[in-house]
Amino acid sequence: FLLSPFTDLHLHAPQFLYQGTGLDLPLLQWLHQYAFKAEASLDCNPSLARKVYRQLGRRLIKAGTGAVCLFGTLDLKGETNLILVEEMRKAGIRAFVGKVSMDISSRPEYVEASANAAVASAREFGVKVASSSSPSLVHPVITPRFVPTCSDELLHGLGALAKEKGWRIQSHMAESRDQVDNNNSFTHLAKLGTSIAHCPLSNIYFSASRSFALREALDADVKVGLGTDVAGGYSLDIMSAMRTAVAVSRIREGQREKEPCGVNATNGPNAKSLAIDWKESLFLATSGGAKALGIDSGLFAVGRPFDAQQICLLDTNRVGVGALDFFELEKEKTSEDRSIQLLDEMIEKWWCVGDERNRMGMWIQGA
C-alpha cells in the first residue's frame, strides 16, 4: 500500500555523529559534555561533516522520512551548514535547515561573538539557502537554540529577521511540565498557529516524570507532529517515535486513573482518555506532521505533490515480509483467488513490528 512519507519535526543533524551513545547525563550536562563538543568537531572538520550528513540523508530515506526539520551547528566559518543543505538536497527529501544561533554558552570556544554577529550570520545563511537551485525542497529556518543560550537582544534580532524574511522559527521552548501551564499555553499556541514537535523517546531520557500532555494539546487544536530528537533520542526512525508516543500516552492514562476522583479536571467517570491509539500516532507521523511543518504534503489529492512511500506486507507467495507473519494468509496461499483485502489488523501489525524491510520505495515530488 501507499502511505505519505514520515515527517520528522526535530532532529539535530550534527548529533547523528554520536547517535546511540552518551545518554548517561542530565540535559544541561549532556549538552556540555556531548552535544556542543560534537557540533564543534564537525565545524572544524568539513570532510567529516559531509560524511556524517550524507549518511544521515541515506538513513532518513531508509526510514521513510520524506520531510525533516533540522538543527545544524553554530558554524562560525559559514561552511558546515551549507554542506548539510547540499547533502539533504542530494538525498531528495524536504529539509528545513537551521543554523544554530547562540551568544551564551558553557563552552567558551563554541559561541558567537555577539547578538549582532549571530543575527548577521543567520541572515547570511538563510539568504544563501533561499536563493539556492532547489528552494522547493530545502528551506532555511531561524534557530535560536533555547533561552539559556540566547540573550534578549539576540532573540529580538532573530524575531525581526523572521518577520522580515517570512522564514520559519524553530527552538526548544519549555520542555518540562513544571514550566508550562498546559491549558493556558495550549490555547495561546493554537491561537498563534505554533506547532509542537513531540519527541517521546528523548523526553523519557531527559524528563521522565513530566510526560508531554499530547491529548490536551490535540484537544486544544494545537498542530502536533513527531520528532526523533537525535541524539537525545537514540532512534532515527519515526516508527519508533510513533510506538513510544502511544506507550507514553497509555502510561499517562494509567496514572490519571489512579488519582482520586475530583483531584483535577481530567479525572472522573466521564473523563476523556489521555491515551492515543496507533492510528492517531500514524496521523501525527504523516499528515499531522506535514501540517505542523506547513508543507503541502501528507495527503493524496489532486493538485498535491506526489509524496509517497510504498509499504509491502506480503511477498508473492503470501509470506510476510521482514518481521511480519500472516499465518492465516499463508495457509490459504494455494487458493485460486490471489486477491488479498488490506485490513486494519494488517496495517496495525506493520505498525507494531514492521521495519525498513517493508519499505519498497519512496518518492518526493514524484522523484
87-90 long-range Cβ contacts below 8 angstroms, 24+ apart: 87/50, 87/53, 87/54, 87/56, 87/57, 88/53, 88/57, 88/137, 88/138, 89/132, 89/134, 89/137, 89/138, 90/54, 90/57
257-280 pLDDT, tens digit each: 887 765 555 566 678 899 999 999
**pLDDT at 262 (0 to 100):** 52
Query: Which carries the bigger pLDDT value, residue 330 or residue 104?
Result: 104
Provide the percentage of residues in the chain whose pLDDT is more than 70. 92
Provide the percentage of residues in the chain whose pLDDT is more than 90. 76
Query: Which carries the bigger pLDDT value, residue 237 or residue 210?
Result: 237
Q: Name the band, by pLDDT with cuts 50, 70 and 90, for residue 108.
A: confident
7-26 pLDDT, tens digit each: 999 999 999 999 999 999 98
CA distance 354 to 357: 8
153-211 pLDDT, tens digit each: 999 999 999 999 999 999 998 654 444 555 678 999 999 999 999 999 999 998 888 88
Q: What is the pTM of this model?
A: 0.93
**pLDDT at 36 (0 to 100):** 92
313-363 pLDDT, tens digit each: 999 888 999 999 998 876 665 556 667 889 999 999 999 999 999 999 999
pLDDT higher than threshold 90 for residue 87 = yes
CB atoms < 10 A from the CB of 261, how many? 9
What residues pair up with 223 in beta bridges, in sequence order? Answer: 195
Cell for 207? Answer: 524528563
Q: Do 355 and 239 contact (CB within 8 A), yes or no?
A: yes
Q: What are phi and psi of 75, to 5 degrees?
A: 50, 65
Q: Do 237 and 245 contact (CB within 8 A), yes or no?
A: no
pLDDT higher than threshold 80 for residue 62 = yes
pLDDT higher than threshold 70 for residue 141 = yes
**pLDDT at 179 (0 to 100):** 47
Q: Name the band, by pLDDT with cuts 50, 70 and 90, for residue 299.
A: confident
Distance of CA 258 to the CA centre of its chain: 32
pLDDT higher than threshold 50 for residue 216 = yes
**pLDDT at 224 (0 to 100):** 98
- Domains in the chain: ranges and CATH: 2-293 (3.20.20.140), 308-363 (no CATH)
Q: Name the band, by pLDDT with cuts 50, 70 and 90, for residue 27.
A: confident
CA distance 95 to 85: 8
CA distance 52 to 68: 16
pLDDT higher than threshold 90 for residue 40 = yes
